[in-house]
Structure 1
Amino acid sequence: MTATAPAPAARKPVEPGAEPPPPERTSVSRWIPAAVIVAVWIVVYFLTEGTDTLALPGVARTDLHDRLTEFNNDLLASRDTNPIMQFTNSISDLLRSVFEWVQRMVVVPNPPRPVPEIGWLGVVAIATYVGFVIANWRIAVLVCLSFLSFGVFGFWQDSLDLLIVTGISVAIVILLGMPLAVLVGTSARANKVITVVLDLMQTMPTFVYLLPVVLFFGIGVSAAVVSTMIYALPPLVRIAGFGIREVPTTTIEATDSAGQTYWQRLFKVQLPMARKTIIVGLNQTTLAALSMATLAAFVNGPGLGKPVLAGLRINDVGAAFVPGALIVVMAVMLDRTTTAASERSEKVARGGGGNIRQRRILLAAGGVGTLVAVYLSRTYIGLAEFPVYTIGDKVATVVNDVMDWVTSTFGGVTGAFKDYVTEWLLNPMQSLLAESPWYVSFIGIAALALVFGGARAFVSALVCLTGIWYFDLWHDAMITLTMTLVATVLVMILALVFGVWMARDRKVDLGIRPLLDAGQTIPPFVYLIPVLALFGPSRFTAIVAGVVYAAPAAIKLVADGVKGVSPTTIEAGRSTGQTTWQEITKVQLPMAKGSLVLATNQGLLYVLSMTVIGGLVGAGALGYDVVYGFSRSEAWGKGLAAGITIVLLGVMLDRITRAAADVRRDDGAGPRRAFHTRLPIGFPGDRKVVET
C-alpha cells in the first residue's frame, strides 16, 4: 500500500465583501534563502573574481575535445568496414536517391529531356488541386499563390528543394511515429518509457541534432532528412498518442463487450475518434520538419536555408530577407492547409461535408484541368522552367534601403537600449556566473536548484553541472546561461504585460492572439534577419532574437492562466474596493503562478535554442563553439562537447522549473486546473495537457 501525501489545508470560502486570501507563504518564503545564497555568492565573487574560471583562450581545445575528434576520425576512416557506418551509408544513399528522383521530376532537367518531367505549371496545378481536395477552395488559392511566389521572387528551385526534404521527412515520421503513437495511446508502460525519450529529444536545442547526424550520415540531403525526421518525430507521437488515449473509456468498454479484437478496436474506434487530434499532430510535425529542414543549411542541406545563411554571413539583410520571407510563406501555407484539412475531416465525419454532388463535379473538373496543365508543362519549355524574374533582387535592394534608414533614424534608441541592458543586466550577471571560480558557481546554482525545486531539482542540477564541468566548456556554458537568463527575464516582462492585458480585455486578445499564432509559425532562423539589421552582430542580437522567438508562447500561457482565475474570486476582490493594480498583483497573478512557472520553463528552453543559433551573429560562447566545430574538422570534438553541454543546460533548466512548479502545487498554492494549450517545442510546437 503506497503512502499518499497529506492534503493541503482546505481554504475557507471567501465571504461576500471579504478580501481574497493572500498568496501562500510557503511559495514566497523560498525567495528569502535564495536571496541569502545570491548575497553570499556576490561576496565570494568579489574576493575571488577571475580565478579558476576554466576559460579557454580563443579557439583553444582540451585533450577531451581532441579525443572526441579522434573518435570522429576513426569512425569516418571505417566507413567501408564498420557495420554501423555501412548501414548508415546505405540509408544515406537511399535518401539521396529518393530526393534526386523527386527533384528531377519537378525541378532539375533530366539529361534525356530538355525540361523536367513535370514543369512549374504542372507542379502549381497539382499542389493547388491537392489543397482543394483535402481542404477547400480558399486553401487552394493560398497554395497556388504561395507556389507562384516561390518562382516570382527567384527561388523556385530552392523552395521546391525545401518542400521535398520536408515531405520526405514527414512521410518517414508518419511511418515510424504512428506505431509509437499507438503504443503511447494504448499502453501505460510504453507511454512512460517513450515519454522520457521524447522529453529528452524536445529539451535538446535544434542545432545539437546536426553534429551526430553528420557523423553517421555525412553532409547534404541525407543529413538534412535524418535530422529533420528526428526533430519532427516527437510532436506526432505525443499528440496522436494523446488523442488515442483520450478516447472515452465507455466507448472502449462498449467495443470490448461487443467482442471486438484489439486491431478492430484500434482501426474502427480509436483511430477514427482521434482523427482530428492526429491531424493536429501532423500539422505540428510538418511545421517542425520545415523548421529543421531550414536549419539543415548548416550541413549543406538543400533549400531556402542556404540563401538565408549566406545573407546572414555577409550581414546582407536584403539578401536574407527574401528567402526568409518565402520560408514564412511556406510555413503559413502548410499550417493553414493541414489545419483546414483537420477541420474538414471532422466536418465530414459528422456528416457535414456540404453539397457532395457539387463538390464531385468541381473535383472532376479540377482533375481534368490539372492533367491539362501537367501535359502543357511537359510540352512547352516556357511552362516547364520558371521564367527568370528580378523582383526578388529589387525587393532585397528596397529592404536594404529601408533598414539603412531605420538604423540611421533609430540607431541611437536601439543602441541606447542595447547598452543599458548590457551594462546593467547582462554584464553583472555574466561576471557573477562566468568570472566566479567554477566551484563557486557550481555550488550557487545547485543551492538555488534545491531552494526552488527541492531534492529532485538538486539532484538533476548536480548531474548536469558535473557533466558541464567534465566537457571542459564551463566558462562558455556560464556565458550562454547568462544570455539565456537575461533573455528569459525580458520574455517574462513581455509575457506579464501582454498576457495580463489579453486576459483582461477580450478585444485585445482577439487582436494579439493571431499575431502570436503567426509568430509561432515562423522558423527561428528567420528571426535573426531583422534583429541583426537593428543591433548588428553581437551577443545582444542573439538575446533579442531569442526574446522575439520565445515571447509568443510565454504570452499565451500567461494570458490563459490569468484568464482561468475564478470570476467569483475576482468579484469578491472588487467588492472590497480593490484597484486594478491590486486586483492584478494580489489576486490574478498569485493564483496563476502555475502558468507563470510554465511560461518561464518554455521561455528558457526557447531562448536557449535561439542563443545557440545566435552563435552565427556574434553571440559567442557555446553557440560559436558548435558552429566552429561544424566548420573545422579538427575542432569537431569541441563542437560535440559544446552540443552536449547545451543539452545539459537545457535539461537542468527544464528540471528546475518543472520541479519548482510541482513544489508549489504540493504546497497547495492554488487550485489544480487542467487546460489545453499549443506549446511550440523549439519550433513550432506541441499540444499538451498541462496541470497547474
Structure 2
Amino acid sequence: MSTATAPPSLERLEPDAAPPPPPQPRRVPRLVWVLVVLAGWVALWSVTKGTHTLALSGLDQTDLHARLSDRVSGFSSNAVAQSIADAINAIVDFLRGLIAIPTPPRPAPTIGWLGVVAIATWIGYAVANWRIALLVAATFLSYGLFGFWEDSMDLLIVTLVSVAFAVVIGFPLAVWIAVSSGAARWITLVLDLLQTMPTFVYLMFVLVVFGIGAPTAVVCTLAYALPPIVRISGFGIRDVSPAAIEATNSLGQTTMQRLLKVQIPMARRTIIVGLNQTILAALSMAIIASYVNGPGLGKPVLAALTENDFGAGLVPGLLIVATGIMLDRTTTAASERSERVARSGGENRRRRRMVLGVLLVPVAVAVWYSRYSIDAAVFPETTWARSVADWANSWMESFTSTVDTAAGKFSDAVSYGLLNPLQSVLAESPWWLSFLGLLLLGVVIGGRRAVVPSVVCLTGLYLLDLWHDSMVVLTMTLVATLLVMVLALVIGVWMGRSRVVDVVIRPTLDAGQTIPAFVYLIPVLALFGSTRFTAIVAAVVYAAPAAIKLVADGIRGVPDGVVEAGRSTGSTTWQEITKVQLPMARGSLVLATNQGLLYVLSMVVIGGLVGAGALGFDVIYGLAHTDYAGKGLAAGLSIVLLGVGLDRVMRSAADRAGARAPVPRAARRTWARGAVPF
C-alpha cells in the first residue's frame, strides 16, 4: 500500500529564489505635507503678524541701497562704453538717414518709401516665395497707410542691427558649446542669467553706462535676443546624426572641415529656427527700448499707455504684431525652402537667377523714382490711424460700460477672497516665519534638490533689504499663476481632447505670444483702472498661452490605448479626464505651472507702471531717478532671485513628476531650451 507524499515545497524546487520583498510603507502624499506646513504657518502668523516684516515706507532706502547707487554711478564715465555707443549711433543714424528720416537738404530719406517697399518685396521673394513677397509688401504698405512709416523703419533698424550683433556674437558661441561640453556648462550659466533676469534690470546697467538713446536700446535688445540663437543653433549642430559624423571621421576630416562641411550644413534648418527666435525676441523689446528713448514703434505705444488712450496704442501695437508675423513667416519659409524644392523635384537655378535679375529692374526704377518724386519719397498723410483709434476708443467705452459691473465684482472677489488674505500671511508675517515657511514648502514640493537654491534665494532676498516688497510681489505672482492654471486646465484639456478645438484656438494663442507685453496693459488698464489687479490680469493674459499649450500637449500625449481602456470600463468623461489623462500628464502640468510662474513674474516691472507697486515700482523709480538707482537695482535682483528660486523648485518638482508620468516631447524641448521669459 503506497502512501501519498507531500509535493515538494517551492523552497526545495528553487533554493536560490529570493524571498519576496517586504511591503513598503505608504508615503504621506505631498499635498498633506503642504497643508501641514501651511497650517503651522497660519497658526504662528495669527500671534505674530505685523511684527518684524522689514517693510520700508514710501521712498525710504537703506544703507545698502545708497552704496549700490554710488557704485552704479561710478560706471557712467567709461571710454570704452562711449566708443561702443558712438559706433552704434553711427550705424543707426546712417540707416535712419537711408530709409527713415529726412537727410538735409532733402525733405525725405535717401531712399523713399516706394523704393524701400520694392527692395523689401524683392528680398521676400528671393529668400522665400511670392506669397511671402506679398506679405512683406502688405506689411510695409500698412506702415505708411496708418501714418507710422518713420517709427516702423526705426523699429526694423534697431531690431535688425541688434540681430546682426547677436548673430556675430552668438553663432561662434553656438559652435563652441556644440563641440565643447565644458564651454557648454559655463555659457549655459550665462544664458540662464540673461533669460532669468528681467529686462528692466540690465536696462538700468546699460542706461547708466551708455545713456539715453539708440545705443542703450540696441545693447538691451542684444542681451535679450542673444540666448535663443546660441541655445538652439548649438543644439542643432550638436544633434547632427552620429552616423554622418562617423563617416566624416573615417575620411580623415579635421574638426573644422567637419563643422563647415557636415554639421553646420545639416543643422541649417535648426540654425534658422534659432535666428527666427532671436528676431522675435529682439522685436519684443520694442516698447521697453522706447522707455530709454530708443527709436521705434514703442514710443507711440508707451505714450498711449501713459495717457490711457486705448485707440492710440492699438494701431502701433498691431503694427508691431504685423511686423513680428512678417519676420516670423519670412524666416520660417526661408528655412523650409530648400526642403520644399527638393520634395518637388528641384528647380532650375539658372531660371530663378534670371527671374530675380529681371525683377531687379523695376526695383531699381522704384528706387530712382523715390529719389526724385516727393510722393514716392514721403508717404502721403492719411486719417486711417485716427479713424481706427476713434472707433477702438468708442468700442472700448461701450465694452467697459457693459462689463464694468461684472469686472468690478470679479476684481473684488479675487482681491478680497484671495489676494488680500494671502498677502497678509506672506507679507505681514515676521520675516523669519515667511523664510521658514517658504523654505519648507520648497522642500516639500521640490524635494532635496530644492533645498540649496531655496536657501540661497531666500537669503539673498533678506540681504537685499526688500523682503516685504518681495513678499507682496510673490503674492501677486501666486494669485496670477493660479488664475493662469485655471485657464490652462479648462482650455488646455479642451484642446487636448479635440483636434478641431486645437486648430481653432492655437493660432490665437500663437498670436497672443507674439504681442509685446506692454500692449496687454492698454485694454486692461482701460477696463480695471490703475490698480495692482490690473497688473495681475495683464500678467494672466500674457502668461496663459504658453501654459495652455503645454497642458494641451500633455493631454494629447497620453497613449490612446490607456484612454480606450478607461472608456471600455464605462468611465464618464469627467472620470476619464480626472482619473486618467490629468494624472498621466502630471509632468506637463508641472511644466505649465513653472512657465506660468515665470511669465507672470516677467510682468512684475511692467505692472509697476499701472499701480502694482512693490518691486516693479522700485525698478521704475530707480530708472527715472539716479539717487534711487541702488534701490532699483536691489529690486531687480530680488525679482531675479524670486524667479530663480521658483524655477528651481518647479524644475525639481517636474523631475519628480516626470519619473512617474511621461512628459511630451514638445514640453521637454521647451524646458531644454531654457524657455524663461524674462
**Contact 1:676–1:687 (8 Å) recurs in 2:** no
Q: 1:413 is matched with which residue: 398, 406, 414?
A: 406
After superposition, the Cα gap between the structure-2 partners of 1:191 and 1:573, relative to the gap in structure 1 and judged at 3 Å, is same
Matched, 1:67 2:70: no
Indicate conservation of the 8 Å contact 2:72/2:629, yes or no. Answer: yes
Superposed, 1:113-132 pairs within 5 Å as 113-132=106-125
Supply the AA of the counterpart residue of 2:340: K
Give the root-mean-square deviation of aligned CA atoms.
1.9
Match of 1:52 in 2: 52
Matches within 5 A, 1:77-476: 79=77, 85-348=78-341, 352-354=345-347, 356=349, 359-476=352-469
Q: Deviations over 1:189-214 (max 9, x none)?
A: 22222222212221222222211111
d(CA) in 2 for partners of 1:526 and 1:552? 15
User: 2:7 corresponds to which residue?
Assistant: none
Aligned counterpart in structure 2 of residue 618 of structure 1, from 611, 623, 629 = 611
Shift, 1:671, TM fit: 4.3
In structure 1, the partner of 2:20 is: none
Tell me which of 661, 664, 678 is aligned to 1:670. Answer: 661
Tell me the residue number matched to 1:506. 499
State the Cα distance separating 1:25 from its structure 2 match. 7.1
Task: Please say if residues 276 and 345 of structure 1, whose CA atoms lie closer than 8 Å, have aligned partners that are also in contact.
Answer: no
- Residues 482-502 of structure 1: CA distance to partner in whole angstroms, max 9, x if unpaired? 111111111111111111111
Does 2:35 match 1:35? yes
Structure 1 distance, partners of 2:664, 2:370, is: 57
Q: After superposition, what is the alpha-carbon deviation per residue over 1:291-313, rounded to whole angstroms, capped at 9, x for unaligned?
A: 12331111111111111111111
Q: Distance in 2 between matches of 1:571 and 1:183?
A: 48
The superposition leaves residues 335-356 of structure 1 with CA deviations (integer Å, 9 ceiling, x where unpaired) of 1111111111333466755455
CA distance in 2, matches of 1:672, 1:167: 36
- Say whether the 8 Å CA contact 2:585–2:663 is kept in structure 1: no
Structure 1 residue runs of 5 or longer lacking an equivalent are 1-23, 80-84
Deviates more, 1:90-99 or 1:519-528: 519-528
1:604–1:649 distance in 2 versus 1, CA, 3 Å: same
Question: What is the CA-CA distance between 1:672 and the residue it aligns to?
Answer: 6.3
Q: Residue deviations 1:161-207, cap 9 Å, x none?
A: 11100000000000011111111222222222222221222122222
Q: 2-side partners of 1:25 and 1:557: how far apart?
A: 31
Does 1:566 pair with 2:559? yes
What aligned pairs does 1:493-572 form with structure 2 within 5 A after superposition? Answer: 493-572=486-565
2:192–2:674 Cα contact (<8 Å) kept: no
**Deviation by residue 1:25-53 (Cα, 9 ceiling, x = unmatched):** 76x71111111110111111111121111
Q: Distance in 2 between matches of 1:262 and 1:416?
A: 65
Q: Matched residue pairs, number?
A: 652
The aligned residue for residue 576 of structure 2 is: 583
The answer as to whether partners of 2:587 and 2:662 remain within 8 angstroms in 1 is no
Distance 2:595 2:273 in 1: 20
Q: 1:644 aligns with which of 612, 616, 637?
A: 637
**Normalising to structure 1: TM-score of the pair?**
0.91
The offset of 1:587, in angstroms, is: 1.0
- Over 3 Å counting, the alpha-carbon distance change for 1:618 and 1:688 in structure 2 is closer
Cα gap change, 1:355 to 1:500, in 2 (>3 Å): farther
Residues 214, 294 of structure 2: 8 Å contact kept = yes
Structure of greater Rg: 2
What displacement does 1:585 show? 0.7
Q: CA deviation at 1:280?
A: 0.7
User: Partner residue of 2:622?
Assistant: 629
Whether contact under 8 Å (1:291, 1:523) holds in the other structure is yes
> Is the Cα contact below 8 Å between 2:127 and 2:334 reproduced in 1?
yes
CA offset at residue 403 of structure 1? 0.8
Q: What amino acid is aligned across from residue 110 of structure 2 in structure 1?
A: E
Mark the CA change 1:631 to 1:109 in structure 2 (over 3 Å): closer, same or farther: same
Output the amino acid matched with 1:647: V
* Structure 1 runs (4+) greater than 3 angstroms displaced: 348-362, 671-679, 686-690
Name the residue aligned to 2:648: 655
Structure 2: unaligned runs, 5 residues or longer: 1-24
2:553 aligned partner, one-letter code: D
Relative to structure 2, which stretch is displaced further, 511-520 or 599-608?
511-520
* Alignment check: 8 A CA contact 1:308 1:320 kept: yes
Asked if 2 retains the 8 angstrom alpha-carbon contact of 1:532 and 1:617, the reply is: yes
Alignment check: 8 A CA contact 1:467 1:645 kept: yes
Q: Is the 8 A contact 1:53 1:437 kept in 2?
A: yes
Question: Which residue type is aligned with residue 408 of structure 1?
Answer: S
How big is each residue's C-alpha offset from its partner over 1:353-400, in whole Å with a ceiling of 9 and x where there is no partner? 545565444322321111111001111122112222222122212211
SS in 1 for 2:602: helix
- Correspondence for 1:9: none
1:96 partner amino acid: N
Check conservation: 1:483, 1:543, Cα contact below 8 A.
Answer: yes
Distance 1:557 1:452 in 2: 20
Alignment check: 8 A CA contact 1:677 1:688 kept: no
3-state SS of paired residue (2:574): helix
Deviations 1:513-566 (CA, angstroms, capped at 9, x unpaired)? 111111111121211122112211111111111111111111111111111111
Structure 1: distance between partners of 2:34 and 2:320: 44
